[in-house]
Amino acid sequence: MLTRVDLTLVCVNPRVLAEFWKTAAGYVDEPPPLPFTTREQWLAQFDEEDDDGMDAAWLHDPTGVAPRLCLLQVPEPKVAKNRLHLDLRVSGDGGPEQKWVRVTEEVARLSAAGAVALHEFAGHHVVMADPKGNEFCVA
């Protein structure tokens, strides 16, 4: 039985990418599992022989609706297209023209935060890349 879905992104610098996704999706840092008060305490319980020195960040939706994001460090940069990507859906009512205005405003906001617009499907969605090249859509 499925209890929840987490999405994991691998990247060279998880903390930088976490800041982008907090801005993009309104996520916040996820607290460590109880009874730990810091992630460092939680991580210390694991076998240090397997500690590869890699960094990570954990984010969650404060409303509890969207999946958790785990950002894990890997030494190599991204070299190919994602097989899975996130879709950021703008909210609000109104007709297609009003929705498209909100999409373009969100694209501008995310561009200012470091994303790059890759392809526009006018009136429907925009394919973007986060600061480390991971594709996502704004619709």
What does the pLDDT look like over 67-92, one tens digit per residue?
Answer: 999 999 988 888 888 878 889 999 87
10-60 tens-digit pLDDT: 899 999 999 999 999 999 999 988 899 988 888 787 765 555 667 899 999
What's the pLDDT score for residue 39? 83
**Domain ranges in the chain?**
1-77, 80-139
pLDDT at 46: 73
Smallest CA-to-CA distance from 108 within 99, 120, 117 is with 117
What is the four-CA torsion angle of 113, 118, 122, 126, rounded to 10 degrees?
-50
If you average pLDDT over residues 3-13, what whole number do you get?
87
- Measured distance CA(6)–CA(66) in Å, rounded: 9
Q: What is the mean pLDDT of residues 119-132?
A: 94
Handedness of CA 131, 132, 134, 135 (dihedral sign): positive
Q: Give the pLDDT score at 53.
A: 66
* Distances in whole angstroms, Cα of residue 100 to Cα of each of 21, 26, 78, 112, 124: 22, 20, 30, 18, 7
Q: What is the pTM of this model?
A: 0.82
126 pLDDT above the threshold of 60: yes
pLDDT for 45: 79
The CATH number, out of the four listed (3.30.70.20, 3.10.180.10, 1.10.1740.110, 3.40.50.300), of the domain defined by the range 80-139 = 3.10.180.10
Mean pLDDT (whole number) for 118-134: 94
Q: What are phi and psi of 132, to 5 degrees?
A: -105, 10
